[in-house]
Chain A
């Protein structure tokens, strides 16, 4: 009812302006889509230098447009992010035209380093998040292509290091925010970084619980990180989502551990009776853990709310 009244109250001028803006956005989107599809369709027929020129032209257009829009305003920031993405495409196309022995990690590493100036210029949390994903991809590729095959580090330990680096980036972000850089203070960013970091650590941690050896580092890192993040975001910098992620992942790990213990007791000799028995016990254990996690999170939530009110 309220909305309907408001709509009726608008005069013709507002509607005219609204229509003009809507058509402008629609037109701009169609134009851009047309440009993108034109080049995508004719890509195979373009020579290598046309491709290089096109991408470099797009890069320059994005940067000039970013200046025009204002570097620190949303449109300018989006255009600088676009420039960062085009940079990667450009180097990808160079690597495709000139097929050398360069590894994928070299492309991502160069990309990660080359866009740094725009990162500092744009002052955008989304840009930094993208950069973190880029740096993680470069590091993972380096591990997959060099460190692990050359026997420098075991795969599980490498995952532990990768996860720890994401958590370290989160810590750095928090410290920079505390130092007064307000634009970095984004809820989605802190939650996403915690989620990605803990999820990466969870993989070797589960490996350790299942196999019992080899992934000690990842297991230890996961426990430390989940505990520390859970504590910090419950007590120091209240953010319930991170507390929930840390608790949920820990419960997941406990489920896997319980599963291993149960099947070691009942055996995995393939007898139907022991299999059903094991599955039933596992079901009970998972149910118990789920219920406990929910109760625990309710408790945390109430405590955090109480502290937030200053009780």
Chain B
């Protein structure tokens, strides 16, 4: 019985650490090698939803399949977007499994309600406390996607399509925030 318990603890450790590190590796692959895709943020409610230290994201209609088409789709799947020169995405077609053109990317979606509500990747962006003002002007969500359409949200971008970085002088050397004015 004692040996069995020992075996269980070790097996548990292998499973937990294995799953954790595999997940980390897999997602780091997407971050390092994934294709950048900019998704335009819907200019309505999400920006007023800034609360605490995260921002709810809602993407523009041009990224999604037509509304009446959506409720017919399976709950999880993927579709194809066309990318312009700045990697800004617009909906191209449903995913039929064929190969992608050079200016196309595959994105996994998930239906979240019966009315065809659809989610692409992260539904919210977490940032450090006190940086809400910085991200209030965000125009795009920046995702890295792999060939299968898995995505990791890398950050938010402003009008200039560059990822918004927290300026270094926002935080003092001891990590405490400085007064801004």
Given contacts A91-B20, A94-B24, A117-B9, contact A101 B121 (CB under 8 A): yes
B120 engages A117 (CB within 8 Å): no
Give the chain B neighbours of A63 by CB distance below 8 A: 9, 13
Q: Does B125 touch A at the CB level, under 8 Å? A: yes
CB of A67 closer than 8 Å to a CB of B: yes
Q: Does B100 contact A (CB under 8 A)?
A: no
Q: Does A115 contact B (CB under 8 A)?
A: yes
Asked if A120 CB lies within 8 Å of chain B CBs, one says yes
Given contacts A100-B121, A149-B114, A150-B113, contact A94 B23 (CB under 8 A): yes
With A120-B8, A121-B8 given, can you name 5 additional A-B contacts, CB distance below 8 Å?
Answer: A52-B24, A87-B16, A90-B16, A98-B27, A101-B110
Interface residues in B109-138 (C-beta closer than 8 Å to A):
110-114, 117, 119-126, 128
Tell me the complex Cα distance, A100–B122, Å: 5
Contact among B12, B113, B128 with A114 in the assembled complex (CB-CB below 8 Å): B12
In this complex, what residue of A is CB-closest to B113? A149
Q: Contacts of A235 on B, CB cut-off 8 Å?
A: none
Complex contacts, B11 vs chain A, CB 8 Å:
117
Shortest Cβ gap from A69 to chain B (Å): 12
Contact with B along A191-232 (1 / 0, CB 8 A): 000000000000000000000000000000000000000000
Q: Are B16 and A67 in contact (CB under 8 A)?
A: no
Binding site for B on A (CB under 8 A): 41-42, 44-45, 52, 56, 59-60, 63, 66-67, 71-72, 80, 83, 87, 90-91, 94, 96, 98-101, 110, 114-118, 120-123, 145, 149-151
B70 contacts the other chain (CB 8 A):
no
B6 sits at the interface (CB 8 A): yes
B62 interface residue, CB < 8 Å from A?
A: no
How far does the alpha carbon of A117 sit from the alpha carbon of B13 in the complex, in Å? 9
A100–B20 touching, CB < 8 Å: no
Cβ-closest 6 pairs across A and B: A117-B12, A98-B27, A99-B153, A121-B8, A99-B122, A149-B113
Q: Does B44 contact A (CB under 8 A)?
A: no
Contact of B75 among A116, A120, A150 (CB under 8 A): A150
Set of chain B residues within 8 Å of A96, measured between Cβ atoms: 126
A44's contact among B30, B108, B114, B175, by CB below 8 Å, is which? B175
- Given A98-B152, A100-B122, A101-B110, decide whether A71 and B5 contact each other with a Cβ distance below 8 A: yes
Out of B12, B28, B153, B175, name the residue touching A45 (CB < 8 Å).
B175
Across-interface contacts of B124 in A (CB, < 8 A)? 99
Contacts of B150 in A (CB 8 A): 100
Q: Nearest B residue to A123 by beta-carbon distance? A: B5
A115–B16 alpha-carbon span in the complex (Å): 8
- Residues in B whose Cβ lies below 8 Å from that of A151: 113-114
Residue of A nearest to B23 (CB): A94
> Max chain A CB contacts within 10 Å: which of B17, B20, B111, B153?
B20
**Contacts A100-B27, A100-B150: A118 and B9 contacting too (C-beta < 8 A)?**
yes
Residues of A within 8 A of B153 (CB): 99-100
Could you tell me the distance between the alpha carbons of A116 and B19 in the complex, rounded to whole angstroms?
14
Contact indicator B122/A44 (Cβ below 8 Å): no
Residue from A44, A67, A150 in contact with B111 in the complex, judged by beta carbons closer than 8 Å? A150
Contact (Cβ within 8 A) A71 B15:
no
A83 to B12, CA, bound (A): 10
Please tell me if the beta carbons of B6 and A100 are within 8 angstroms of each other in the complex: no
Residue of B nearest to A102 (CB): B122
Residues of A within 8 A of B152 (CB): 98-100
Q: Name which residue of chain A comes closest to B122, CB basis.
A: A99
Interface: B163 (CB within 8 A) = no
Partner of B19, one of A45, A80, A98, A114: A114
Q: Are A99 and B12 in contact (CB under 8 A)?
A: no
* CA gap between A52 and B28 in the complex, in Å: 13
Interface check B88, CB cutoff 8 A: no
Cβ of B60 < 8 Å from any Cβ of A? no
Chain B residues whose C-beta falls within 8 Å of the C-beta of A56 in the assembled complex = 17, 20-21
CB distance from B103 to the nearest CB of A (A): 23
B132 to chain A, nearest CB (A): 16
- Chain B residue numbers with a CB within 8 Å of A72 are 5
